[in-house]
């Protein structure tokens, strides 16, 4: 494993094994499923696979499947602009020759899962050649067994599956990655880290893994001066974690009703926390009772994600 990947992912044996699989599968055309908690580096690993394949330098297109269903379908397949009548290409056409990453693939609507599976089998007929990578925080095999994910699509995307271990289960990696983030944040400046400061980092739960760690350390060191990082520099706590829930939310934003936006935000919070309602409620700033009532309301509306929510 080279220094670049070690700095990003660490050196734990489980991570080294996962990266070896990623490196081996990169040279093939096979789809890849990357499984792991939020913020653990799934999309980064997808980029690693792309950059180490023959598709390097070709388009790398991501679609967040936890977004509103019509938006997701339009982003993947393309759509006709209602005002100009011009067809806007989707991810498959835009990424032809490159890689398409379906982030939070478990967020796809049931009916579209079947449609997508059919289309994936027909891409060659349209002279479209893309490597498919999907990411999820869920155990898709269990979702298939429960009838909550289409078996055909799961079989297609899971021929090569890679699981990334949570950061908190890799204490050695936690310290290693934290020191690399500190060094990078300070533009390579050599600084020491007080034992108390490092203990503060090591004892935190890091719900959002590397993404949260990076956000917290970069924020803490934004105006850093000196040659030693102390515990006082590090404001680590629950409020810091909520700021890292979103990935690329600044892209593809569309206008929607307040009710739609509320439903989408609740769905994204649930997906982000692997459907842990207590954590989702904390992130959203509401009581668990309020969240439960909203879920029941959306179930009553017939929304498939909330109907199938355990």
Each residue's pLDDT tens digit, 9-22: 889 999 999 999 99
Q: What pLDDT shows up at residue 237?
A: 62
Residue 144 CA to residue 46 CA, distance in Å, equals 23
> Is residue 233 scored above 90 in pLDDT?
no
Residue 77 CA to residue 94 CA, distance in Å, equals 10
The pLDDT-based confidence of 69 (bands split at 50, 70, 90) is very high
Q: What pLDDT shows up at residue 52?
A: 94
Distance of CA 275 to the CA centre of its chain: 14
More confident residue, 205 or 29: 29
> Is residue 308 scored above 70 in pLDDT?
yes
Residue 104 CA to residue 109 CA, distance in Å, equals 12
The pLDDT-based confidence of 302 (bands split at 50, 70, 90) is confident
Q: Which two tokens stand for residue 306?
A: 């909330």
| Mean pLDDT (whole number) for 273-297 | 88
Parallel/antiparallel/unpaired status of strands 87-89 and 78-80: antiparallel
Residue 285 CA to residue 277 CA, distance in Å, equals 12
Q: What is the DSSP string of 68-136?
A: -HHHHHHHHHEEE-TTT-PEEE-HHHHTTTSEEEEETGGGS-HHHHHHHHHHHTTGGGGT---EEEEEE
> Is residue 293 scored above 50 in pLDDT?
yes
| Mean pLDDT (whole number) for 44-53 | 95
Q: Which domains does the chain have, with CATH numbers?
A: 3-163 (3.40.50.300), 167-243 (1.10.8.60), 258-307 (1.10.10)
Q: What pLDDT shows up at residue 253?
A: 44
User: For the chain, where are the E strands, in sequence order?
Assistant: 32-35, 60-64, 78-80, 87-89, 99-103, 131-136, 161-163, 192-193, 228-229
Each residue's pLDDT tens digit, 89-138: 999 999 999 999 999 999 999 999 999 999 999 999 999 999 999 999 99
> Can you tell me which residue has the tokens 């979702």?
143
More confident residue, 306 or 166: 166
> Is residue 242 scored above 80 in pLDDT?
no
| Mean pLDDT (whole number) for 268-290 | 87
What is the rounded average pLDDT for all residues in the chain? 88
More confident residue, 244 or 271: 271
């Amino acid at each position: 494993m080279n220094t670049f990947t070690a700095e990003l992912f660490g050196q734990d044996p489980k991570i080294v094994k996962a990266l070896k699989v990623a490196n081996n599968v990169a040279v093939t055309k096979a789809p890849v499923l990357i499984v792991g908690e939020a913020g653990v580096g799934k999309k980064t690993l997808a980029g690693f696979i792309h950059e180490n394949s023959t598709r390097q330098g070709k388009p790398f297109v991501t679609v967040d499947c936890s977004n509103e269903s019509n938006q997701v379908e339009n982003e993947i397949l393309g759509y006709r602009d209602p005002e100009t009548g011009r067809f806007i290409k989707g991810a498959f056409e835009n990424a032809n020759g490159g890689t398409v990453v379906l982030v939070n693939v478990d967020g796809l609507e049931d009916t579209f899962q079947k449609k997508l599976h059919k289309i994936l089998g027909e891409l060659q007929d349209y002279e479209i050649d893309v490597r498919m990578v999907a990411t999820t925080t869920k155990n898709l095999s269990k979702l298939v067994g429960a009838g909550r994910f289409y078996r055909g699509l799961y079989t297609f995307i899971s021929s090569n599956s890679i699981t990334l271990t949570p950061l908190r289960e890799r204490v050695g990696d936690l310290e290693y990655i934290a020191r690399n983030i500190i060094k990078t944040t300070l533009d390579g400046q050599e600084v020491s880290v007080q034992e108390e400061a490092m203990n503060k980092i090591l004892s935190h739960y890091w719900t959002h893994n590397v993404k949260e760690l990076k956000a917290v350390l970069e924020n803490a060191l934004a105006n850093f001066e000196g040659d030693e990082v102390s515990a006082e520099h590090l404001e680590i706590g629950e409020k810091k974690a909520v700021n890292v829930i979103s990935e690329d939310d600044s892209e593809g934003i569309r206008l929607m009703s307040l009710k739609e936006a509320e439903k989408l935000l609740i769905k994204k919070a649930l997906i982000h926390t692997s459907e842990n309602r207590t954590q989702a409620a904390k992130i959203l700033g509401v009581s668990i009772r309020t969240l439960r009532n909203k879920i029941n309301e959306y179930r009553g509306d017939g929304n498939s994600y909330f109907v199938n929510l355990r």
